[in-house]
Chains A and B, each alone.
Chain A
Amino acid sequence: MARIEEITLPRERPTPARWRFNATALLFMGPAMVLVLVFFIAPVIITFAMSFTDLATSTGLSNWQWIGPENYARIFRSQFWLPILGNTLVYVAVVLAFNVIVGLGVALLSVHMEPKAGGVFRALWLLPRISPSVVYALMWTWAAASPPFGMLNYVVAPFGLEPRYWIQSDPWLIVIFINGFVGASFGMLILTSAIKAIPEDLFRAAQVDGASALQVIRRITLPLIKWPILFVLVYQTMSLFASYEYIYLTTNGGPGLFATETWSLWAFHSALSNYYGNLEFAYGAALAAILVIMGLGISMVLLRVFRFGQLVAEPRVEVE
């Protein structure tokens, strides 16, 4: 094969005009820029700034002072930061695994079903996502209510399990299931469309080549949806780190002291729902700031582990 010689084009010098103030462009970009500034950048800056003050209900909105990194020191002096960090990591890791594995499983099952049945099946899995969070959480608290109530007790009875008050006895189980089922729908949606985007001929070719259904999934489907799987993984990691609403609505970090408290719930409790009535906005901001840094760090590690750069550079499936 003949090699094509590389041609070096004379590089264009950036003309000063290109950088000149372009009022029209700014006008068009303006509204979006204002929104990004107000709703994305400003809150981060305010959070970080606030974390260096002593702003709380007790100081009022006017009497606060800069106190330097005292809030951070206080967090790490607390005897709870390590268990809560541990809780957070367990929560994120287990729920993430549940989300991605179940989401992928449901996606694979539903696309291999008869199309209408597959659609109904997916719609069922979407129910937790489309019902209001509070309704969904209440349904779980009722389902896991203390004996003699609680549907869960009746469901597990045939398996010889004693009826119990699940939220008290197995709080983690409830936390993982409630978040897992609602989160699985996200992976399911993304991965279903990713699988459906694979040209039908590839599956047919694999069948003709001699692949069984499982071999088709392992050798064709999964490698071709590597990128959407990574996306779901990273996105879910981020949202799990920041999420607390279902824990708040069921165990509320309990039972007992911080048994299922995660970092974001801790920040919420400190800043906005303090038991003692003293809402420590600044302390909560410091907790949130750490959360932001943790999130950034972990996503960077994930992208590195999955070689994000190579992944996006790789040619996608070409659709004729």
Chain B
Amino acid sequence: MRVVLEQLTKKFGDVAAVRELDLEMRSGEFVALLGPSGCGKTTTLLMVAGIYRPTSGAILFGDRRVDHLHPKDRGIGMVFQSYALYPHMTVAENIGFPLELRRAIGKPERDQRVREAAGRVEIDDLLDRRPSQLSGGQQQRVALARALVKRPDILLLDEPLSNLDARLRHDMRGEIKRLQKEIGITSIFVTHDQLEALTMADRVAVMRNGRLQAYATPDELYARPRNRFVAEFIGTPPMNFFPAELGSRNGSVVARAEGIEVELTRAQLPRGEARQATMGVRPEHLSIVSPADGNVTGEVYVVEPMGREQIVDVQVGERRLRVIAPPGFTGRIGDRVGLRVAAERLHFFDPTSGERLS
């Protein structure tokens, strides 16, 4: 089922939580709403669910306009951040509840579908338990089964992994993604964790202050962030930024910043006029070399070994740059090092609007 949000706006009193949001999700697509807390992502989800009524704008499921419909008439399944399992019902009763409310489905069929849904998320041995007797991960699975048992057209997930411990989160990430693809159900999930969004979603909508910042595939968000906010929000550790000056020399475009001078390709920055810019480079695109070989030199500020790699903070003039170094790097605090950057890995943003300059 295709989902379209048109100029969707939600105001609470004078405060606009979501402003003129346009978003289209293809049938079967897995879309993440990503952003820091208070960005309007959960409000958007609750509007799609029908729990909040939009102040203005439209929501379409397929070709049907649904924004006036009660949640029960929208054909959605939802997993809540708190799981929202009914504490007075057993697991089987929880999963069967959506079916029980539909008169058309008899008890034998209901039991059959409850078992089927429970089997899908591997909790068929827990059907007689109460939610309070389950672990967080098991509760999550019950919530998923309950959301899916009525075979909804759209699955909504509100911060589905935030209440799980790190390890379980990793497991469930993969499982939810696989489940979504198996069923082929259009799904929207809300998260503040960029890693979750990038790893699970087909497309990610990045939001800030109620506005859409970018809507693209994870690859594109990472490789060509549309503005500085997206560039900073996507990727860990975050991108390094510093003011730069763009100019031309001998017919080619050059960027100068903090003593670095890099020649850019035409494709990267076609317009050659001199101007100020914010230059960004991801830690994984800087490499540590001997001082003589670097575009710039600096002093090791701190080294954080992570096993597979090391995060090295290098002081360059007034600025501290974060670099990912291979585990073999043996530099110590205070060592002088050179930093090398590949010109094609640089990002440039307008210093005032933050928009990408290419």
Interface residues of A (CB under 8 A from B): 1, 199, 201-202, 204-212, 215, 219-220, 223-224, 226, 315-318, 320
Contact = CB atoms under 8 A, between A and B. Distances in A.
Given A199-B84, A201-B84, A315-B130, A208 B78 contact: yes
B132 A208 contact: no
B70 interface: yes
A209 B132 contact: no
A220 B86 contact: yes
A1 B84 contact: no
B84 A204 contact: yes
B43 to A, nearest CB: 13
A209 B101 contact: yes
A120 B187 CA distance: 42
A212 B98 CA distance: 11
Contacts of B102: 210
Given A1-B125, A208-B78, A209-B101, A224 B132 contact: no
Contacts of B46: 204
B129 to A, nearest CB: 11
Top 4 nearest A-B pairs (CB, nearest first) are: A201-B84, A205-B84, A315-B132, A210-B72
B222 interface: no
Contacts of B82: 199, 201, 320
A112 to B, nearest CB: 15
A224 B130 CA distance: 14
Nearest to B125: A1
Interface residues of B, number: 28
Contact of A209 (B81, B98, B163): B98
Contacts of A201: 80-82, 84
Contacts of B150: 209-210
Contact of A204 (B80, B97, B101): B80
Contacts of B87: 224, 315-318
10 contacts: A1-B125, A199-B82, A201-B81, A202-B84, A207-B70, A208-B76, A210-B150, A315-B130, A317-B87, A318-B132
Interface of B: 46, 49-51, 70-72, 76-78, 80-82, 84, 86-88, 97-98, 101-102, 125, 130, 132, 146-147, 150, 163
B132 A204 contact: no
A207 B132 contact: no
Given A207-B70, A209-B98, 17 more contacts: A199-B84, A202-B86, A204-B84, A205-B78, A205-B146, A206-B86, A208-B51, A208-B78, A209-B72, A209-B97, A209-B101, A211-B101, A223-B88, A224-B88, A226-B88, A318-B132, A320-B163
B300 to A, nearest CB: 43
A224 B85 CA distance: 12
Contacts of A199: 82, 84
Given A210-B150, A224-B87, A204 B49 contact: yes
A208 B71 contact: yes
A215 B101 contact: yes
Contacts of B81: 201
Contacts of A205: 78, 80, 84, 86, 146
Contacts of B50: 207-208
A212 B101 CA distance: 9
A210 B101 CA distance: 6
Contacts of A223: 88
Contacts of A209: 72, 97-98, 101, 146, 150
A315 B89 CA distance: 11
Contacts of B80: 201, 204-205
A288 to B, nearest CB: 40
Contact of B72 (A202, A212, A219, A226): A212
A105 B147 CA distance: 31
Contacts of B97: 206, 209, 211, 219
Contacts of B71: 204, 207-208
Task: Give the interface centre of A201, A205, A211, A219 by most chain B CB atoms within 10 Å.
Answer: A205
B98 to A, nearest CB: 4
Contacts of A219: 97
Contacts of B70: 207
Contacts of A210: 72, 98, 101-102, 150
Contacts of B86: 202, 205-206, 220
B188 to A, nearest CB: 13
Contacts of A1: 125
Contacts of B78: 204-205, 208
A202 B125 CA distance: 24
A211 B71 CA distance: 9
Contacts of A208: 49-51, 71-72, 76-78, 147
A211 B98 CA distance: 8
A220 to B, nearest CB: 6
A224 B146 CA distance: 19
A212 B77 CA distance: 16
Contacts of A215: 101
Contacts of A320: 82, 163
